[in-house]
Structure 1
Amino acid sequence: MLPTHGRYEYSGWPGRTPYAWPGGAALAVYLGVNLEHFAFGEGLGAELAAGGPQPDVLNFAWRDYGNRVGAWRLLQALDELRLPATVLLNSAMYDYAPELLAAHRARGDELAGHGRTNSERQSILPEADEAKLIAESTAAITRHEGTPPRGWLSPWIAESRATPDLLVEAGYTYSMNWCADDAPIWMSTRAGRLLAMPYPQEVNDIPAIAGRKDGAADFADLILDDFHERLHQVRDGMAQVMGIALHPYIIGQPHRMRHLRRALAEIAQHRDAVWITTAGAIFDHVAALPPGVVPGSEWVA
């Protein structure tokens, strides 16, 4: 027998119990906007080009462009198209760019936990230190927003074997780390259940643009192909979640923003047929469904 995680059981797509999103929609769409801050001269960070010895000014400044310029351009597009967002937040952003977070707060966007900084990876920490990382990030969001975050995406989507347990113990109700399904599923932890919220590793500008080197038009087409294929698929009555993962230092470049706006405008034209929402609102809807509807609800306490 292969080792297993023990967090959920297998549930194939056919044969699941159908359910709908608010308004009878079968497709929910949310935007995951990653607001990240990085240490200068040390630690992890995505690269535009192969970095040299630290301090790696080229790549640090490229990432910082996202907070100084790209995120504001993205906000403008979201306002123009009347689109909500789930902000995946490094808590270090409160000290670095508080006015950017104030702008998202004023829009009513959801703020979810995304660690302290993407310069570190929580999966390599001893359990006590990982719990401290989660607690410090959570406390900062709670202090500034007045309510604790409910969702979590680990920096670099890195987990230790204890991460789901620690998240529930810290008060989290959903995690975006497990990209194993097109619909939410319940996971088991030592402290109770945790919802695995679909988070995209394909419709995501880091693997698409920084990884595969797709062009701006290619990424916009990828978003729309994913969207329209899902609209075709959900005719079977099975509800799906489509996430779009965005990083302002990548997508906020002018030549990419032009194509992203094209894709998001087309999705917005379907707002009467699909549910354009936040990850937290998706959690609320799923949590209210009867037992046995969502995979895992029949066996996860």
Structure 2
Amino acid sequence: MLPTHGRYDYAGWRGRTPYAWPNGAKLAVYLGVNLEHFAFGEGLGAELAPGGPQPDVLNFAWRDYGNRVGAWRLLDLLDELSLPATVLLNSAMYGYAPGLVAAHRARGDEIAGHGRTNSERQSVLEEAAERTLIAEATAAITLHEGRAPRGWLSPWIAESRTTPDLLVEAGYTYTMNWCADDAPVWMRTRGGPLLAVPYPQEVNDIPAIVARRESAEAFARMILDDFEERLRQVQQDGLPQVMGIALHPYIVGQPHRMRVLRRVLGAIARERGRVWITTAGAVFEHVAALPAGQVPGCPRAAAAEQAA
């Protein structure tokens, strides 16, 4: 037997119990907008070009463009198309660009935890230090938003072996770290169940554009192909899916990428009668209200017994 995480049970796609999203939709679509702040002269960060010795001004400034310019243009696009968003927030943004976070708050977007900064990974920390990281990010969001976040995406999708346990202990009800499925999955933790809401690692501008050097047009085509194929699949097998679209303003907020992004998001928005355009948090709420056993992963009863 190979080592296993033990967080969820295997459930192949065929043979699952069908259920629907609101208004009978079978496809849920959400936008994950990453608002990130980076330390100057140290730490991690995506690179437009191979970085030189610190301070790496070229790449720091390129990323900072997202908060200064790109994110505001993306906000205009979301307003233009009446699209909600789940904001994946580095808590350092409250000190750096509070007006940007306030603009998302004003439009009713969901604010989810995304660590303190993407200059660090929580996976390399001892348990006490990781607990502190989660607590500090959570406290900042709770203070400024007036409510605690329900969802978490780790910086760099980096988890330790205890991250899901620590998230539940900190009050989180869903994680976006596990990209193992096209539908939500219940996970076991030592504190009770945690829902894994699909977050894309393919339809995501960092892997597509930064890692694979795809063009703006290729990334937009990827989004639309993914959307159209999912529509075909849910009509064929009747099983619900969640499609996330991961966006980073310093990447898609560049004018040449924004132009093609507008076209593809407009095409998706025009299908809102057939699909549920929503937030990751609303996906959690819907799944949490379903009868036990409809959503794969681990039975909620078993998770509750484990927690007891």
Corresponding letter in the other structure for 1:189:
T
Corresponding letter in the other structure for 1:25:
A
Corresponding letter in the other structure for 2:239:
M
Tell me how far apart the structure 2 counterparts of residues 292 and 123 of structure 1 sit (CA, whole Å): 31
Deviations 1:182-210 (A, max 9, x none): 00000000000000010000000000000
Corresponding letter in the other structure for 1:149:
P
Write out aligned runs for 1:277-288 (5 A).
277-288=278-289
Which residue of the partner structure matches residue 100 of structure 2? 100
Which residue of the partner structure matches residue 145 of structure 1? 145
Unaligned runs of 5+ in 1: none
Which residue of the partner structure matches residue 241 of structure 2? 240
Corresponding letter in the other structure for 1:234:
V
Question: CA RMSD for the aligned pairs?
Answer: 0.6
Tell me how far apart the structure 2 counterparts of residues 79 and 279 of structure 1 sit (CA, whole Å): 18
Alignment TM-score, normalising by the size of structure 2 = 0.97
Corresponding letter in the other structure for 1:20:
A
Corresponding letter in the other structure for 2:255:
P
Contact 1:186–1:196 under 8 Å retained in 2: yes
Tell me how far apart the structure 1 counterparts of residues 297 and 152 of structure 2 sit (CA, whole Å): 19
Q: How far is the alpha carbon of 1:296 from its aligned partner?
A: 2.7
Contact 2:10–2:297 under 8 Å retained in 1: no
Which residue of the partner structure matches residue 249 of structure 1? 250
Corresponding letter in the other structure for 1:23:
N
Write out aligned runs for 1:136-175 (5 A).
136-175=136-175
Alignment TM-score, normalising by the size of structure 1 = 0.99
Contact 1:28–1:242 under 8 Å retained in 2: yes
Which residue of the partner structure matches residue 38 of structure 1? 38
Which residue of the partner structure matches residue 76 of structure 1? 76
Which residue of the partner structure matches residue 274 of structure 1? 275
Contact 1:291–1:297 under 8 Å retained in 2: no
Tell me how far apart the structure 2 counterparts of residues 297 and 18 of structure 1 sit (CA, whole Å): 17
Which residue of the partner structure matches residue 188 of structure 1? 188
- Which residue among 284, 300, 303 is the counterpart of 1:300? 303
Which residue of the partner structure matches residue 120 of structure 1? 120
Corresponding letter in the other structure for 1:103:
A
Which residue of the partner structure matches residue 207 of structure 1? 207
Tell me how far apart the structure 1 counterparts of residues 214 and 257 of structure 2 sit (CA, whole Å): 11
Tell me how far apart the structure 1 counterparts of residues 251 and 77 of structure 2 sit (CA, whole Å): 15
Corresponding letter in the other structure for 2:20:
A
Tell me how far apart the structure 1 counterparts of residues 196 and 138 of structure 2 sit (CA, whole Å): 19
Q: How far is the alpha carbon of 1:92 from its aligned partner?
A: 0.1
Aligned to 2:4, what secondary structure does the other structure show?
A: coil
Q: How far is the alpha carbon of 1:9 from its aligned partner?
A: 0.9
Tell me how far apart the structure 1 counterparts of residues 123 and 298 of structure 2 sit (CA, whole Å): 27
Which residue of the partner structure matches residue 21 of structure 2? 21
Tell me how far apart the structure 2 counterparts of residues 63 and 297 of structure 1 sit (CA, whole Å): 39
Q: How far is the alpha carbon of 1:29 from its aligned partner?
A: 0.1
Q: How many residues end up aligned between the 2 structures? A: 301
What is the aligned-residue identity percentage? 80
Q: Which runs of 4+ in 1 moved over 2 A?
A: 296-301
